Amino acid sequence: MGNGARTGTVRLGILGAGNIADMNVAGYLEHPDCDVLAVCDVDGALAGEAAKRWDVPRSYSDIDELLADDDIDAVEILTPTHLHYAHVKAALAAGKHVSVQKPITNTVDEALELGSLADAAGLTLRVSECFVHYPPLEMAKKLISDGAIGRPIGVRIRTVVGQTDSTFQAALRPEGYGWRLDKRSPGGHLFDDNVHKYAMALWLVDPDIISVQAVVRRRDIFFEPCAVIFEYDDPDLLGTMEVQYAREMWMRSGYFGADEFFEVQGEEGFVWVTRATGEMLDLPPVVLYQGKDNARTFTEFDQIDADWATGFRRSSAHFVEALRAGTPAAMSATEAAKVLQLCFAVYQASDTRQPVDPRTITGSVTPAGWAEW
């Protein structure tokens, strides 16, 4: 089945029923043009429980059974990252359109190969990046593109990880995290979670990043506090990224114990996105300051849906609508490969204490000392 527009509903299979599955599947279940027909997990009991919870008619414990189901047009892949390459490749070989959770793969080469395979087969392959579909960030990008702050000259992204008592986090299965902590992953928090922030450093503004400088530390095995400088191919545009791990600080969040803040500075003003995963600040989700010609104006966008889960639901809906319209679906494999390059450039720049051009990275980079316990 090719990339052309399709009629009728998108018939979907879900591969992986672990911790984040409910967040990704919700948008499919509520979409009028999508039928979720099956769920597959190597843990057959987990697949059966998810099928019952989602009112899905079929459950499998073997990926080959799922991919052999001729009623399924497309697959949402929610398995651990180190399995993505094999699972996406198998789904494409079976003639299925594919949406895969971030990060797309463990290496840049694998990501680009999968993109080429999808193109050759006339199939859609996209990476499900919920931040691309999070309404406050969507609004910020539109304001920037519309020239509300003039020419962008600065990007600042800040993440703080701490503790929370959210029902969501308390319900997560600890066994879903083991593969993130050993050599099945090329890195820790900066690889597993911060790909969202790398994606935003590339997506919010048009120029590419051509040089990275970084200092990365490690705490409690997984977390990687860092300070990063991005140079874009516009010499007037610089970016910074900061990640901190405050392990004794409790945070207001309905999801993970994390909080993000995004700022894009322009020559005529700035735009803030004051939240994403957490809800730490009693500020509107989006704040715009315009100061051109001494006309100083603050605009607060406080009627926008800032629930982090909305980005997941909108991402799922986007995939369905792209398949029905025969249009590209975000993020592409090429875009996802650039995110990986940026992630690995941060590790390499920290290890070498030298600037790194992310475009030169073709495989993967693992930070010194990772998984050596």
* Domain-embedded: residue 144: yes
Domain boundary among 73, 107, 129: 129
* Domain-embedded: residue 116: yes
In terms of domains, do 199 and 213 share one? Answer: yes
- Looking up tokens 């979670």 gives 193
Is 37 strand, coil or helix? strand
In terms of domains, do 74 and 201 share one? Answer: no
- Read off the pTM: 0.96
CATH number of the domain enclosing 108: 3.40.50.720
- Which DSSP state fits 203? H
Question: Angle 306-334-141 (CA atoms, 0-180°, nearest 5)?
Answer: 30
CATH number of the domain enclosing 171: 3.30.360.10
- Full residue range of the structural domain in which residue 15 is found: 10-129
pLDDT (0 to 100) of residue 294? 84
Q: At what angle do helices 333-352 and 195-203 cross, to 10 degrees?
A: 110
CB 227 within 8 A of CB 214: yes
CB 79 within 8 A of CB 55: no
In terms of domains, do 144 and 238 share one? Answer: yes
Residue 165 carries which side chain, given as an amino acid letter?
D
What the block records as the tokens of 10 is 């998108």
Q: What are phi and psi of 333, to 5 degrees?
A: -65, -35
CB 208 within 8 A of CB 50: no
- Per-residue pLDDT of the chain in tens (373 residues, 90 and over written 9): 344 555 579 999 999 999 999 999 999 999 999 999 999 999 999 999 999 999 999 999 999 999 999 999 999 999 999 999 999 999 999 999 999 999 999 999 999 999 999 999 999 999 999 999 999 999 999 999 999 999 999 999 999 999 999 999 999 988 888 999 999 999 999 999 999 999 999 999 999 999 999 999 999 999 999 999 999 999 999 999 999 999 999 999 999 999 999 999 999 999 999 999 999 999 999 999 999 988 899 999 999 999 999 999 999 999 999 999 999 999 999 999 999 999 999 999 999 999 999 999 999 999 998 987 5
pLDDT (0 to 100) of residue 373? 59
Strand order in the sheet with 74-77: 58-60, 34-40, 10-15, 74-77, 97-101, 125-128
CB 224 within 8 A of CB 242: no
333's CB contacts (< 8 A; 6+ apart) are 104, 111, 112, 114, 115, 118, 125, 126, 127
* Domain-embedded: residue 56: yes
In terms of domains, do 115 and 161 share one? Answer: no
In terms of domains, do 176 and 284 share one? Answer: yes
pLDDT (0 to 100) of residue 1? 36
Q: What are phi and psi of 277, to 5 degrees?
A: -65, -45
* Domain-embedded: residue 24: yes
pLDDT (0 to 100) of residue 6? 54
How far is residue 335's CA from residue 126's CA, in Å, rounded to a whole number? 9
pLDDT (0 to 100) of residue 7? 59
| Number of independent structural domains in the chain | 2
pLDDT (0 to 100) of residue 2? 41
In terms of domains, do 66 and 167 share one? Answer: no
Give the distance from CA 315 to its chain's centroid: 10
* Domain-embedded: residue 231: yes
Is 229 strand, coil or helix? strand
pLDDT (0 to 100) of residue 254? 95
In terms of domains, do 106 and 232 share one? Answer: no
- Looking up tokens 């591969």 gives 15
